[in-house]
Amino acid sequence: MFKVAIVGASGLLGRALVRELATQTGWQVVQTAFSRVGAQQLALDVRDAAAVEAFVAREAPDAIVIAAAERRPDVCEHDPDAARALNVDAVRHIAAAARARGAWVLSISTDYVFDGSAPPYLPESTPNPLNAYGHSKLEGERALLDATDNALVLRLPLLYGPIVGWHESAVTSLVPAIRASAQPGSTPAVMDAWATRYPTFTPDVAFVIRELLTRCTDKNAVCGIAQWSGDEPMTKYEIAQRIARARGIDAQLIAQTEPADATPRPRDCHLDSGRLEALGIGRRTPFDAGILAVLDAFEREHAKA
């Protein structure tokens, strides 16, 4: 039986991966979480090297997917040491334990390892992060690949998917402001129209990861660096317009055409997905269909509460 450990199974991507792997027969899935430990999940602090070593030795997984990270750029900027503990040191701990076991490791990284000045970016393009988040994720990539050659870095852009709260994704976090802007007498919502993003649906990423795991079962693991991205470029202003249209909201939106974030962000980090596409791996859900499914599901659950 093929055994997969999902580290960070309670997060936005982790939950999507758990759902995807539940459709796979003949596999055993072990889930870990830290701040939100749910049913069928084991508590694991990945910053604790001894705890990680004990977990891997006890569970003996054939593959480990690291979906746990500090992914909020502003938080990383204000507390780079805490970001490094999760995005670098924890990856190193897991990689070392996996190497001793002979397990393949997939670690999630980000398009923010690039500066956004010359897209599209290939896996071998030279990184040049602009902020503490990008620096920590780049260090995490290097920590993984230095520790073991039986591993893959999977770079991803802006993610959205089924949520437990609007704040979970920078896409759905726009919804409260969109709704508020439509109220009588309200102030228009200012939305970034400077940076181009490529929203990517977490169930699609989970499908990609399942395909990569399947290659491990065939003794044909993909290693090194790969990338996956949605292919619809849009600014947050355009994302907000499409969310408003999907919900029939008469939103008042103002386009902010200059960078306004305190934390520096790249302008366009489009990731080239060609390596995985050449392997026949990939799936893309159109944004309008994906975001409608997310909104419908969340609002149904919220109505029950």
Domain range for residue 73?
2-164+199-232+268-286
The yes-or-no verdict on residue 304 having pLDDT over 70 is: no
Q: Mind giving me the DSSP string for 159-175?
A: EE-S-SSGGGSTTGGGH
pLDDT one-digit tens code per residue, 234-280: 999 999 999 999 999 999 999 999 988 888 999 999 999 999 999 99
**Is 203 contained in some domain?**
yes
**Is 14 contained in some domain?**
yes
The stretch 27-55 carries a mean pLDDT of 89
37 — pLDDT class (breaks 50, 70, 90): confident
How far apart CA 219 and CA 25 sit, in angstroms, is: 18
pLDDT of residue 114: 98
The yes-or-no verdict on residue 305 having pLDDT over 60 is: no
The CA R_g of the chain, rounded to the nearest whole Å, is 19
**Is 60 contained in some domain?**
yes
pLDDT of residue 225: 98
How far apart CA 41 and CA 61 sit, in angstroms, is: 15
**Is 237 contained in some domain?**
no
Burial of 52 (0-12, 13-18, 19+ CB in 10 A): buried
Can you read off the two tokens belonging to residue 105?
A: 């490791």
Q: How many domains does the chain have?
A: 1
The yes-or-no verdict on residue 176 having pLDDT over 80 is: yes
**Is 224 contained in some domain?**
yes
Q: What angle do CA 259, 162, 120 make, to 5 degrees?
A: 45
**Is 47 contained in some domain?**
yes
41 — pLDDT class (breaks 50, 70, 90): confident
Average pLDDT over the chain, rounded to an integer: 94
**Is 193 contained in some domain?**
no
pLDDT of residue 270: 98
Q: What CATH number did the domain enclosing 71 receive? A: 3.40.50.720
**Is 172 contained in some domain?**
no
